[in-house]
Every structure is written in C-alpha cells, then in structure tokens.
Copies of this chain bind each other. A is one copy, B any other.
Amino acid sequence: MTNRKKITIKEFAEKLGVSIATVSRAFSDKGRISEKTRQEIIAKAREYGYRANIHARNLTSRSNNTIALLFPAISHEEPDYFITEIMLGINETLTKYRKILQVHPFPLDASEQELELYKDYILNGSFEGIIVVAGARGSNHLVSAAQSGNIPYAVIGHMSGVNENSVLFDNEYGAFLAGKYFKDTGRQHPAYVGGHLDKRKKLGFQEGFGANANKIIFAEGGNSFRHGGMALENLQKTHPEVDCVLCANDVLAIGFIKAALTRNIKVPRDIAVIGFDDIKPSRYYTPALSSVSLKLFELGECAVKILMQVIKEEKPVNSETIECDLILRQSS
C-alpha cells in the first residue's frame, strides 16, 4: 500500500536534526552515543519506518552474514531426506550466530558446465563461508574452488583429498556395532549390501563379526529402493544360507526387506536386517527398521561450529568425528 520509497539515513537524520553518524551509531553497538538519544532515534525510526539499507551495510562490513550449504540432490524423483535433518541442524545453529542460510542443491553427476556454474557461485562469494556435503562426483571440485578463492569452508562427510575442516561419521564403528550384534545374537551367515566405495562400513562390519569375518558375503547394491530388492534376489540365488544383512543405507534396507517379504521370507526370523542412516521414516516401517543412526542434526550443528572457527581463526581446523548409535527395532 504505502508505496513511498524507503527513507534513507540521510533523509531520516535531517528530519531528526542529527547527523547520519549518530543515526548509524544508534543501531550499532560500536560508537559512542548517549542512551537517551539512542532511544529517541529508535523510537523515531519506528515512526518513520526507517530501516538501514542492508546492501549498503553489507558493502561497508564486507559481509552479508550468510552461509551457503551445497549438497548433492539426487533428483526430484528421489529426494534425499537425509539432507533435511542436516539442514535443520545447520540452520538452528546458524541462528545462534545470527547467520542466514542459503542453499544450493547440486546434481549428483554435474556436467563440466554445471560445475563451473557452482564454482562461480562460490567464487563470487555472496557469503561468509560454505558448507559442502560430500557425496556427489563434483564435491571436491567445489572445495578446491573454495580453497583457491580463500573462502572459509567446512565439509560434511568424508571427501578424498580433504583432511581438515570436516565432520566425519564414524561409519566404521557403526558397522562394527551391527556386526557384533549379529554375532552376539547367534547369526551364522552374514552379508553386506552396499556400494564398493564404502570400504569403511565393510571393514567395521567384518571386525564386529569377529572370528568368522571371512565368511561375510558382499553383495553389490546402489543406494535406491530398487537396488535393495535386486540384492535380495541375487543373494537368494547365490547364497540362500545368509541369515543377517547390513545394508549401507536405509532405503536399500527397506527395498531388501520388501523383496524378502514378497518371497515370504520372514524378517527378522529368516534374515535379520540392519540399515544405515536411521532416517526418520525407517521407524514407521513394518517391521520397524533397525539402523545405525548418524545423528544428522548434531552433524549439522558440528559443521557450523567448525566453519565458524575457520572464519574466526582464519586457518583450517581439525576434523571432528560424530559417533554412531545402533538403534535396534523389529527388523533384527
């Protein structure tokens, strides 16, 4: 309605009969100003609808108090719910630092061109720092860009070539817990379903299972529901004796269980299944999925703390590792 142009500090100061410096000081906590005039100015500001122009502020302060989050987005057909929780953790923590969150989902398999686009975003630097979630093919190029442009960054997850500023999940330990649980509950024929890149999960699983570790069957499985079903089918053909399975992620596990139920294989009686990530929906499945929980919210929280430290100290900081829990439900 009030289509009046926004009032500037100069016009506002003139109306009040003070200098623009005084007005500026009324809204900052730096310069010297009497409490009395500050209150008066703040009151008048409300009356006249004066608000400092944010762009001018950003120019002088050389910052817009914004942090960018770059994360892999599979596609809208199969969004990664994983990220929602991390994002909420990040946001809640950023708010404490009075920072704003800007998001850049980027393709899992970005083309050279697309990658340039994202690098540009980074180097144009409309933010104080970035948080990159590992997982996409191009992730490390983004981090390189940040490094070369001297832009503060933090990384969530393991990324090859990056040893600092990272929040890592202790996947190995999580898988260890799963292996140990299967052994302790008397399972005899373990299998692991997941991508071949996830060495640490395999390793931990083997360690946990202990003595019989060499018996573990590895089944290739991507990271989709469909892959889980395929893994079950394959295992039934090649190793029908398998009686417990660790899946590299929850969706995979759900797909696996669904295929098993379809074949009238009982879970957990015939095969016990444990997933990875403990995404929220997992607990609602029937049977409710046991899973290695990643504490995603904490992950986001930790990433922000690391980034803030990097910004403050102007040098890289040590990576941190977030522990995993084994959440036991009906599927194991």
In the bound complex, how far is the Cα of B53 from the Cα of A89, in angstroms? 30
> In the bound complex, do residue B88 and residue A73 qualify as a contact, i.e. CB atoms below 8 Å apart?
yes
Task: Say whether A281 faces chain B, with CB atoms less than 8 Å apart.
Answer: yes
Task: Say whether A258 faces chain B, with CB atoms less than 8 Å apart.
Answer: yes
> In the bound complex, do residue A89 and residue B76 qualify as a contact, i.e. CB atoms below 8 Å apart?
yes
A91-B79 in contact given A150-B2, A281-B281 (Cβ < 8 Å)? no
Copies of the polypeptide in the assembly = 2
In the bound complex, how far is the Cα of B56 from the Cα of A53, in angstroms? 12
Task: Say whether A83 faces chain B, with CB atoms less than 8 Å apart.
Answer: yes
Chain A residue total in the interface (Cβ 8 A) = 56
A56-B59 in contact given A79-B84, A88-B73, A102-B102 (Cβ < 8 Å)? yes
Task: Say whether A310 faces chain B, with CB atoms less than 8 Å apart.
Answer: no
A51-B123 in contact given A3-B150, A81-B281, A284-B254 (Cβ < 8 Å)? yes
> In the bound complex, do residue A88 and residue B79 qualify as a contact, i.e. CB atoms below 8 Å apart?
yes
Q: Which of chain B's residues has its CB closest to A95's CB?
A: B117
Expressed in whole angstroms, the minimum distance between the Cβ of A231 and any Cβ of chain B is: 15
Task: Say whether A103 faces chain B, with CB atoms less than 8 Å apart.
Answer: yes
> In the bound complex, do residue A284 and residue B124 qualify as a contact, i.e. CB atoms below 8 Å apart?
no
In the bound complex, how far is the Cα of B91 from the Cα of A76, in angstroms? 11
Expressed in whole angstroms, the minimum distance between the Cβ of A49 and any Cβ of chain B is: 9
Which residues of A come within 8 Å of B, CB atoms?
Answer: 1-3, 51-56, 58-59, 62, 64, 66, 73, 76, 78-81, 83-85, 87-89, 91-92, 100-105, 121, 123-126, 147-148, 150, 225, 251, 254-255, 257-258, 261, 280-281, 283-286, 297
